[in-house]
Amino acid sequence: MVRLTPEDRRAALIAATLPLLRAQGLEVSTREIALAAGVAEGTIFRVFPDKSALICATIEYAFDPAPVVESMRHLPDTLPVRTKLTMAARILEKRFSDNFPLLVAVRTNPRAGQMIPGDSLRKIVEAIGQLVEPDGGSLRQPPKTVAWLLTSMIMMQRRWPGGTENALTATDIVAVLLDGVLRPEQTAQQKTEPACS
């Protein structure tokens, strides 16, 4: 039997806790966590001082921007800007979809809410801005503004009153971001109509 290091045991407990928090909120019991992790309940308290510390560590892990930033860095910058933004949008959609239940849950626990890294969103927006930086000359707005608009559109979909059933796909979001909401034939017509004198 392989004996886990304290760091490995901590990581294993966080990995077991995360899906439970997403499914049940902050009221998940240490017994349920231990069962999911395949350990005795007392093992939790040899790694974390209490349940609250484990929950806070799990929330901090869930909102760590590093995996998303790394994913953005691995997208080839030679792809067309539309393709890059669509791929970035899919990465963001998954992150926001996975973590939305946690955002709802932490509203009831100020201490847990403090564990969300304050600069998480800024780092993600910066990574998207760097992704489209080579395309800056073809954009009407600076790459960082484009990155912020994309992130905002995806985030706000989770708050839309109609719920996710009316949500736009990543492809649709990028189309609206890059092309606007007018149909192509309407855009062409607008360009040919005389301006008001």
Percent of the chain with pLDDT over 90: 63
Q: What are the tens digits of pLDDT across the range 153-192?
A: 998 886 665 556 678 899 999 999 999 988 876 555 555 5
Residue 80, both tokens = 């067309």
141 backbone φψ class: left, alpha, beta (φ>0; ψ -120 to 50)? beta
Residue ranges of the chain assigned to CATH 1.10.357:
66-191
Which has the closest alpha carbon to 80: 135, 139, 149, 137? 135
- Domain 66-191 grouped into CATH 1.10.357: yes
What six digits make up the tokens of 187?
Answer: 């855009």
User: Are the CB atoms for 150 and 131 separated by under 8 Å?
Assistant: no
Give the three-state DSSP class for 24.
helix
Of 1-10, 40-49, 92-101, 174-183, the one with minimum mean pLDDT is 1-10
Tell me 4's DSSP state.
P
Assess contact for 74 and 53: CB atoms under 8 A: no
pLDDT tens digit sequence for 118-141: 788 999 999 999 999 999 999 999
Averaged pLDDT for residues 49-71: 93
- Reported confidence tier of residue 103, pLDDT bands at 50, 70, 90: confident
Tell the CATH superfamily of the 6-62 domain: Homeodomain-like (1.10.10.60)
Q: What residues does CATH 1.10.10.60 cover in the chain? A: 6-62
